[in-house]
């Protein structure tokens, strides 16, 4: 069959090729792979189908099990779908021989990120009754997920709140879906989701305070950074958590600075970040990234990592390490 591109996968999922009886789902987003595997299992099996799931451990116990499951017709179910999590024990040559004959059950293989020269990927791309579907989460798929869930729950959300929600969600779509469903439940039928709702359900106050601390540090506002650090300590948030948040913040600043240095526009570079900065903070984020520059940001990261490491070794001194780090970065930014 045709080798599918990431942008055409949704079209296949909406209306799978009737000739296809085996699908490989692969990509770095394990949650998205699992979600799409579950959706395909419902399509292939229909109501009342038998779903068989197994992985490397099952193959280790019985290497012939895959062959048996794919060639066994269920006695009481209307159909059968085999979902296999790919691992080191999956024998590609044996699977190739299986796919060259008609299957009594549909097969869904779920894998991690695969290179173009992967034997498993090449097998599914070349076979006439199979398909290889890359699973890469992007802004459009995340937006579609939000729209679908909120539409089903009859919930409205304006453009700014949706952008904010997307910035609070991570890279794993299964976890993102869980958060979106939780937010829909919180809003209630015919409700409207606001930024305050998103903060209440998805982001907690300590997370927001850590973010304020990180922005104060990257902005060279040393007094404010130390004040935020004190507030975090008073609220019971460990200084090591604040420093870990600072590390993530500086990594993103460096990613943006490196992209800008290669000629990307600020808008393009910011859109590629996951999670994306809050839309209200984006101008400040870009300013801080440009102010530091890729080289100085790269040089700052080892200082942050060392402070985090020391705070774990000597937890009684973590507040001191954090304060010293703030002063060190103040001099680095000057």
**Does the pLDDT value for residue 194 go beyond 80?**
yes
Element of type H or E holding 296 = helix 282-313
Q: How far apart are CA 123 and CA 125, in angstroms?
A: 6
CATH number of 205-333: 1.20.272.10
- Separation of first and last alpha carbons in the chain: 58
Range among 48-62, 192-206, 268-282, 309-323 with highest mean pLDDT value: 309-323
Q: How far apart are CA 154 and CA 185, in angstroms?
A: 11
Work out the pLDDT band at 6, boundaries 50, 70, 90: low
How big is the chain by its Cα radius of gyration, in Å? 24
CATH number of 6-134: 3.40.50.300
pLDDT of res. 107: 93
Extents of the domains making up the chain: 6-134, 139-201, 205-333
Name the pTM for this structure: 0.53
The CATH fold assigned to 139-201 is Helicase, Ruva Protein; domain 3 (1.10.8)
Mean pLDDT of 67-78: 77
User: With contact defined as beta carbons under 8 Å apart, do 17 and 124 qualify?
Assistant: no
Work out the pLDDT band at 137, boundaries 50, 70, 90: low
Q: How far apart are CA 160 and CA 182, in angstroms?
A: 19
**Does the pLDDT value for residue 325 go beyond 90?**
yes
Q: 298, exposed or middle or buried, with CB in 10 Å at 0-12, 13-18, 19+?
A: middle
Mean pLDDT of 326-334: 85
Q: How far apart are CA 139 and CA 268, in angstroms?
A: 12
pLDDT of res. 173: 73
Cα-based distances in Å from 132 to 3, 71, 82, 126, 179: 6, 22, 16, 9, 29
**Does the pLDDT value for residue 205 go beyond 60?**
no
The answer to whether the Cα torsion of 221, 223, 226, 231 is positive or negative is negative
pLDDT of res. 289: 95
Q: How far apart are CA 245 and CA 265, in angstroms?
A: 26
**Does the pLDDT value for residue 298 go beyond 90?**
yes
Q: What percent of the chain has pLDDT over 90?
A: 29
pLDDT of res. 57: 78
């Amino acid at each position: 069959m045709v080798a599918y591109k990431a942008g055409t996968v949704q079209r296949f999922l909406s209306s799978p090729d009737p000739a296809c009886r085996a699908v490989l789902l692969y990509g770095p987003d394990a949650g998205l792979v699992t979600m799409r595997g579950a959706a395909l299992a419902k399509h292939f099996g229909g109501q009342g189908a038998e779903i068989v799931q197994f992985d490397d451990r099952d193959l280790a116990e019985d290497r012939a099990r895959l062959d048996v499951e794919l060639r066994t017709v269920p006695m009481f179910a209307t159909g059968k779908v085999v979902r296999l999590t790919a691992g080191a024990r999956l024998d590609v040559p044996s699977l190739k021989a299986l796919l060259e004959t008609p299957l009594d059950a549909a097969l869904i293989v779920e894998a991690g990120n695969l290179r173009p020269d992967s034997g498993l990927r090449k097998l599914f791309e070349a076979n006439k009754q199979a398909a290889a579907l890359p699973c890469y989460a992007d802004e459009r798929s995340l937006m579609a997920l939000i729209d679908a869930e909120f539409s089903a729950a009859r919930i409205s959300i304006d453009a700014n709140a949706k952008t904010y929600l997307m910035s609070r969600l991570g890279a794993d779509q299964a976890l993102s879906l869980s958060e979106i469903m939780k937010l829909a439940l919180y809003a209630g039928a015919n409700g409207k989701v606001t930024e305050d709702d998103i903060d209440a359900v998805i982001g907690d106050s300590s997370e927001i305070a850590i973010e304020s601390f990180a922005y104060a540090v990257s902005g060279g506002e040393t007094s404010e950074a130390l004040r935020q650090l004190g507030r975090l300590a008073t609220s019971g948030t460990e200084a090591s958590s604040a420093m870990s948040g600072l590390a993530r913040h500086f990594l993103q600043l460096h990613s943006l600075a490196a992209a800008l240095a290669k000629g990307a526009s600020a808008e393009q570079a910011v859109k590629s970040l996951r999670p994306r900065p809050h839309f209200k903070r984006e101008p400040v984020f870009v300013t801080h990234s440009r102010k530091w520059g890729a080289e100085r940001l790269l040089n700052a990261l080892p200082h942050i990592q060392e402070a985090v490491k020391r705070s774990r070794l000597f937890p009684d001194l973590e507040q001191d390490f954090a304060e010293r780090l703030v002063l060190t970065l103040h001099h680095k930014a000057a």
